[in-house]
A and B are shown apart, each in its own frame.
Chain A
Amino acid sequence: MWEILSDNWLLLLIGQYPNGPMGGLVATLSLAALSLTLALPFGLLLALGRLSSRRIFRYPATTLVYMVRGLPLLMFIFWAYFFVPLVIGRPVAGFTTMVVALVCYESAYLAEIIRAGIQALPKGQMEAGRALGLSHSQTMRRIILPQALYNMLPSMMSQFVSTVKETSLAYVISVQELTYAANQLNSVLLVRPFEVFALLALTYFTLNFILTGIARLVELRVARRRLAQPVQAVPA
């Protein structure tokens, strides 16, 4: 198994670059990072919509989140595959298609994380902000969101791990990421499928195990910081 890795590590790392698009592990990571970053503003809007007291915001946001949660990511990928070129009016790279599909899918999941983060803050934060004369949106922007977003860093990290795993589906529309590279390798070597796919699984495992470890460290830090700043009792 190790000689497969030492002979082909470059293919698994960057795909056929520079003779083709950037692929392999680098493409996997950039797909995940780009999609999650782009999904963040949409997730935030959806979360605020779901928490809104106005029905015209709450109902569509809630419906959208439920719909996305009820559909397989693969359906989003195929929808994007056929309709992104139609909307833009020219052919698009598989990478872009996958980013569009992932942004749609992840927005809903991020929205649920952000909503939970906002709801986990004590109600007094909003009330105090309003009592001090800030408007609802000012309190949201300056008081609630900075705290909530910081507290949900660990959840965001584990969502990143999920996204890394989900990028493997890009294989289905022939985006040259890690899973695609491994399948290419398998069809070249032909007789070593067990080793190739075990190697692929181990690569994902190592990457995500490290990311999960980092997420746990961040979680500890966040928890410690929250404990370190208890509400100070005013001395009588």
Chain B
Amino acid sequence: MQYVFDFGAVFQAPYLEWLIQGLYTTLALTGLAWIGAFALGTTLAVIRLADVAALNFLISAYVAFHRNVPMLVHIMFWYFGVPAMLPMAWVDQINAVGGEFLMAMIAIALVMAAYIAEDLRSALRAIPSGQFEASRALGLSYLQSMRKVMMPQAFRIAIPTLVNQTLLLFKNTSLAMAIGVAELTKAAREIENVSFKVFEAYAVVTVMYLLLSLLIMWGGDVLARRSRLAGGH
């Protein structure tokens, strides 16, 4: 039997709506997890720089655990495992607002925070220690010198790796489909399931992922060029 290519079929109702909904979910998941990951990752890097032995151990254990376990396993752990330990009333409430999305978001944010914390830590180590000492000598508090002197430089140094992590985070949101989040990959599967337009469904979603990834890479390039200091990094 000859396979008839029909891209139009994928853009008809209700499939178009599924695609748009999937795209929206993927973007929302990416955005929210990104905010969580950067907030936690930055916090961990700042605490790490305080150089307290017990905290160092805790944070490096956190980082090692999250980097050595597959993200899919983290997602399953949060979705299947954690609710079993929570009070029933909480679980009902979580499910009322959409447990799959929330748990996937938490898992992705926690894992990516570990990567971001490590990137920022190595960026912070690349800054001469005189910078920190000078800012303290000028009367800035620990947190002030972090916020005004150290972190802006660390972020600038780390831009290429942070952009890479952002790209990875975006791609990894596709794993949320394993617990039933209706994001872009899930939308492709559903369309293919119902319409039997296997090639078209995956081709359209592949192109969407590709365009968004290229947008992130391009955005990262622009950011790196803009933030470059004259004669410096």
Contact = CB atoms under 8 A, between A and B. Distances in A.
B210 A71 contact: yes
A2 interface: no
Interface stretch (A93-101, A137-145, A197-205): A197-205
A130 interface: no
Contact of B210 (A70, A74, A191): A70
Interface residues of B, number: 36
B202 A208 contact: no
Contacts of A69: 167, 213
Contacts, number: 108
A193 B80 contact: yes
Contacts of B205: 75
A108 interface: no
A171 B72 contact: yes
B175 A186 contact: no
A197 B73 contact: yes
A168 B174 contact: no
A27 to B, nearest CB: 14
B69 A75 contact: no
A116 to B, nearest CB: 13
A193 B198 CA distance: 34
A112 to B, nearest CB: 11
A93 B64 CA distance: 34
Q: Main SS of the interface on chain A?
A: helix
Given A194-B82, A197-B76, A70 B209 contact: yes
A168 B214 CA distance: 26
Given A70-B214, A70-B217, A198 B77 contact: yes
B189 interface: yes
Contacts of A79: 202, 206
B74 interface: yes
Contact of A71 (B68, B177, B206): B206
Nearest to B178: A172
Contacts of B172: 72
Contact of A209 (B64, B185, B213): B64
Give the 4 A-B CB pairs with smallest separation, nearest first: A70-B213, A208-B68, A168-B70, A197-B81
Interface of B: 64-65, 68-74, 76-77, 80-82, 84-85, 167, 171-172, 174-175, 177-178, 185, 188-189, 198-199, 202, 205-206, 209-210, 213-214, 217
10 contacts: A70-B209, A71-B209, A72-B209, A74-B185, A82-B198, A168-B73, A193-B80, A197-B77, A200-B73, A205-B65
